[in-house]
Amino acid sequence: MTIEKFSVDLTGQNAIVTGASQGLGRSIAIELGAAGAKVACLARNAEKLADTVKVITDAGGQAEAIPCDVSDGESVEAAVAKVTDQWGSLDIVVNNAGITRDTLMPVMKDDQWDDVININLRGTFLFCRAASKIMMKQRSGRIINISSVSGLMGNAGQTNYSASKAGVIGMTRSLAKELAKRGVTVNAVAPGFIASEMTEKLGDAILGEVKKRIPARRIGVPEDVAGCVLFLASTAASYITGQVLTVDGGMTA
């Protein structure tokens, strides 16, 4: 499906996108680059990051791959310092990196809980903390956290994932109150079912049932989410903070 794009000029803005090697993060990084932002693409997989960077630079944009473990405080601080030292400012941070380790709670192992919380929630906290220090001094900035409808309504077999994404929403709303007077906005985007490698594994039968639960009668595409991030990163959203923008085709309406 083709998504009509709107015009946003982010020329001169420096952005970090975590989990930029694939899926939503890749799409978000490409959209920010196409809008003129210089994009630091972060993930653990350097090879896949290189592909995202190539797409941005081949289209005339500016981007750099920075391998980073978002759950490691030193790695996060080093990545943020590298961007600010080289580029002079940090204007946009998109906390997208996330994983799933789905299973029912009675049989969920400790590491399945810890892995998801460490990447999805701790990783978002680490980047929010590092970015907020810089943005407060600049008196400007956009922090956009990718949550999920699972964090709003829960989902059987995803207590770890739902808890992490609900935590991201609480963090977003609290941090927004702390940073608003410094000109920094903090918002979250909560996607529903979005086409990805994960949804493809569900198979046609399950996806057919999922579509029946969605008023829009379709699975979303990464561009649906990337467009919302682009808006929240723009000057048009300067008076929007502490909000959760749900992108789910009406599923939670």
Mean pLDDT calculated for residue range 106-121: 98
Mean pLDDT calculated for residue range 186-191: 98
What is the tens place of the pLDDT at every residue in 203-233? Answer: 788 788 888 899 999 999 999 999 999 999 9
In this predicted structure, the answer to whether residue 4 has a pLDDT above a threshold of 80 is no
For the chain, give the percent of residues with pLDDT over 70.
97
Give residue 253's pLDDT: 86
Cβ atoms of 3 and 227 within 8 Å: the answer is: yes
Please report which confidence band the pLDDT of residue 2 belongs to, taking 50, 70 and 90 as the band edges: low
In this predicted structure, the answer to whether residue 91 has a pLDDT above a threshold of 60 is yes
Show the domains of the chain with their CATH numbers: 14-247 (3.40.50.720)
In this predicted structure, the answer to whether residue 201 has a pLDDT above a threshold of 70 is no
Residues with catalytic roles: 161
Predicted TM-score of the model (pTM): 0.95
Mean pLDDT, the chain, integer: 95
17: which 2 tokens?
């996108």
For the chain, give the percent of residues with pLDDT over 90.
88
Look-up: residue for tokens 């990545």?
79
Give residue 210's pLDDT: 83
Q: How far apart are CA 16 and CA 77, in angstroms?
A: 12
Three-state secondary structure call for residue 54: helix
Cβ atoms of 38 and 66 within 8 Å: the answer is: no
Give residue 243's pLDDT: 98
Give residue 196's pLDDT: 81
Give residue 60's pLDDT: 97
Residue 123, strand partner residues: none
What is the tens place of the pLDDT at every residue in 139-182? Answer: 999 999 999 999 999 999 999 999 999 999 999 999 999 999 99
Give residue 136's pLDDT: 98
Handedness of CA 87, 131, 93, 157 (dihedral sign): positive
Look-up: residue for tokens 């794009």?
5
Cβ atoms of 242 and 145 within 8 Å: the answer is: no
Please report which confidence band the pLDDT of residue 1 belongs to, taking 50, 70 and 90 as the band edges: low
